């Protein structure tokens, strides 16, 4: 059996985040990985030094090539950069009636560089999120999506998850890593009830690519036929282990270890 997983995201030349993190994660979890590159970044452990978006034509051509021939069992989207790219991606996913869509609403790199244009946020809300099976915002991303600041507790996270769910996505996984708690607890909401995904907080600065890796792990598990709650549990264990074994490469924030 071949489980086909596609990442639609940005390339991280440093190998820790984006397309590279996603493909390594797919491989580790037993899925066949494919990629549609939306932007190149010149990047290392010290930050993003340049962003080079691809044309809409190039993004559409990659999608068409993959979807018309190989097909997909699950898709993960990461850095999409512009409203035009988001609309092109949403259009092709609809044309090919793709199921199992994991949207990681990537906005800003840990170093502060923007990976999504301000005016693209509305396209994310209206064109892509309603197609998604699951969305995996962290707290700052959730605050942008709901247009309110101030998520500081698990009850605040539940409230925000409810609001994000109203955008038309089936499941919301709001990641709690930015809370200053001892545990890094994520909140999974299916429109009716909440499930907590707890994990002990790992003391490390090497967390580059955590969000990408987590969302890619969910996509790999969905490709293998798991439900979203099952996929989320596996992905949480995978990312916790990857952070525990993060690599000290480069001089800045090292990457999580996908093969841990």
| Interacting residue with ligand PLP among 165, 208, 224, 257 (CB under 6 A) | 208
User: Applying CB under 6 A, does 31 fall inside the site for ligand PLP?
Assistant: no
Joined tokens for residue 234: 């596996």
Sheet holding 47-53, edge to edge: 47-53, 32-44, 4-12, 74-77, 101-103, 134-135, 171-174, 186-189, 194-197
User: Applying CB under 6 A, does 177 fall inside the site for ligand PLP?
Assistant: no
| Interacting residue with ligand PLP among 27, 30, 110, 245 (CB under 6 A) | 110
| Interacting residue with ligand PLP among 131, 212, 222, 247 (CB under 6 A) | 212
| DSSP H stretches of helix in the chain | 18-28, 56-69, 83-95, 121-123, 139-146, 154-165, 210-223, 228-244
Residue carrying structure tokens 């899925």 = 31
Rama region for 150: left / alpha / beta (φ>0; ψ in -120 to 50; rest):
left
Joined tokens for residue 219: 């996509």
- In the bound state with ligand PLP, the residue whose beta carbon lies nearer, of 212 and 235, is 212
Question: Using an 8 Å Cβ cutoff, are 136 and 215 in contact?
Answer: yes
**Active-site annotation holds for 241:** no
Rounded distance between C-alpha atoms, residue 228 and residue 58, angstroms: 31
User: Applying CB under 6 A, does 128 fall inside the site for ligand PLP?
Assistant: no
Find the part of the chain contacting ligand PLP (CB under 6 A) among 105-113, 116-124, 139-147, 180-188.
105-113
Question: CA torsion angle for 130, 135, 141, 146 (degrees, to 10)?
Answer: 40
- In the bound state with ligand PLP, the residue whose beta carbon lies nearer, of 219 and 226, is 219
**Active-site annotation holds for 195:** no
Considering 76, 92, 175, 224, which one is annotated as catalytic?
Answer: 175
- In the bound state with ligand PLP, the residue whose beta carbon lies nearer, of 68 and 114, is 114
Residue carrying structure tokens 């051509």 = 61
Considering 16, 18, 177, 209, which one is annotated as catalytic?
Answer: 209
| Interacting residue with ligand PLP among 5, 6, 10, 127 (CB under 6 A) | 10
Residue numbers at the binding site for ligand PLP (CB under 6 A) = 9-10, 12, 17-18, 41, 43, 78-79, 106, 109-110, 115, 208-212
Catalytic residues: 175, 207, 209-212
């Amino acid at each position: 059996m071949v489980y086909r997983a596609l990442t639609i995201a940005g390339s991280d030349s440093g190998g820790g985040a984006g397309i590279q993190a996603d493909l390594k994660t797919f491989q580790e979890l037993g899925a066949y990985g494919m990629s549609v590159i939306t932007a190149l970044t010149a990047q290392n452990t010290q930050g993003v030094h340049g962003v080079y978006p691809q044309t809409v034509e190039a993004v559409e051509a990659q999608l068409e090539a993959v979807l018309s021939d190989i097909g997909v069992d699950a898709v993960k989207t990461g850095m999409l950069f512009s409203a035009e790219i988001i609309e092109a991606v949403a259009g092709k996913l609809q044309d090919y009636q793709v199921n199992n869509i994991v949207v990681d609403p990537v906005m800003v790199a840990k170093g502060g560089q923007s990976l999504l244009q301000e005016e693209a946020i509305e396209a994310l809300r209206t064109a892509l999120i309603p197609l998604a099976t699951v969305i995996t915002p962290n707290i700052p991303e959730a605050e942008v999506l709901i247009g309110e600041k101030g998520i500081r507790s698990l009850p605040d996270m539940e409230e925000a998850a409810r609001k994000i769910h109203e955008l038309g996505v089936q499941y919301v996984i709001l990641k709690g890593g930015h809370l200053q708690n001892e545990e890094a607890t994520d909140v999974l909401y299916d429109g009716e009830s909440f499930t907590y995904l707890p994990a002990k907080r790992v003391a490390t600065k090497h967390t580059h690519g955590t969000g990408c890796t987590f969302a890619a792990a969910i996509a790999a598990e969905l490709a293998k036929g798991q439900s979203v709650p099952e996929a989320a549990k596996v992905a949480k264990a995978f990312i916790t282990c990857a952070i525990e074994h993060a690599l000290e490469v480069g001089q800045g924030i090292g990457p999580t270890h996908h093969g841990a």
